[in-house]
């Protein structure tokens, strides 16, 4: 095969994928699960200690722990906001990279085509899923009594 017989390599304009930082993608994908995990563990610690400081459960909160409900509510709202911000970031990245790659007319794909879009849609799905889980935790916090014992 001679040099003239090789197909011409099409030059593509720089993609927006190159302008999306890896930190942005990591926040979009891993921010909601980390926020939910933190919220779940901190809420468990803060909600269980005032009711079970020793082996026997209490029917009311320990003295000085009256504001624990507001703290739990604030932690849940913060986790919901982190998930919501991650969803917005994911959707913006997904939309920004929607027209980056024209249809490919040969059999070889350029490297990393669609990686950013794939991670952005994964971030959107995980964001909505973990935001729903955190909202369910918030509803349980508001409905279930703090110390039922």
Amino acid 111: pLDDT: 45
Q: What would the DSSP string read from start to end of the chain?
A: --GGGSPPPPPPPPPGGGGS-HHHHHHHHHHHHHHHHHHHHHHHHHHHTTT-SSSS--SSPPTT-TTHHHHHHHHHHHHHHHHHHHHHHHHHHHHHTTTSSPPP-SS-PPTTTTHHHHHHHHHHHHHHHHHHHHHHHHHHHHHS-S---
Q: Which of the two residues, 22 and 112, has the higher pLDDT score? A: 22
Amino acid 68: pLDDT: 82
Q: Which of the two residues, 57 and 33, has the higher pLDDT score? A: 33
Mean of pLDDT values over 59-87: 87
Looking at the predicted structure, is the pLDDT value of residue 83 above 80?
A: yes
Q: Which of the two residues, 95 and 5, has the higher pLDDT score? A: 95
Looking at the predicted structure, is the pLDDT value of residue 73 above 90?
A: yes
Amino acid 1: pLDDT: 53
Amino acid 49: pLDDT: 75
pTM of this structure: 0.75
Looking at the predicted structure, is the pLDDT value of residue 3 above 60?
A: no
Q: Are 141 and 76 in contact (CB under 8 A)?
A: yes
**pLDDT tens digit sequence for 91-137:** 999 888 876 665 555 555 444 457 888 888 899 999 999 999 999 99
């Amino acid at each position: 095969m001679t040099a003239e017989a090789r197909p011409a390599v099409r030059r593509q304009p720089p993609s927006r994928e190159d302008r999306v930082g890896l930190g942005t993608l990591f926040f979009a994908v891993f921010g909601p699960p980390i926020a939910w995990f933190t919220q779940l563990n901190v809420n468990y610690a803060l909600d269980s200690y005032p009711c079970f400081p020793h082996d026997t459960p209490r029917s009311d909160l320990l003295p000085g722990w009256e504001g624990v409900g507001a703290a739990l509510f604030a932690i849940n709202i913060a986790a919901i906001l982190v998930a919501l911000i991650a969803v917005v970031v994911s959707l913006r990245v997904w939309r920004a990279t929607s027209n980056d790659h024209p249809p490919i007319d040969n059999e070889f794909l350029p490297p990393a085509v669609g990686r950013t879009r794939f991670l952005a849609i994964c971030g959107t799905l995980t964001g909505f899923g973990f935001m729903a889980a955190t909202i369910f935790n918030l509803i349980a916090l508001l409905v279930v009594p703090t110390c039922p014992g």
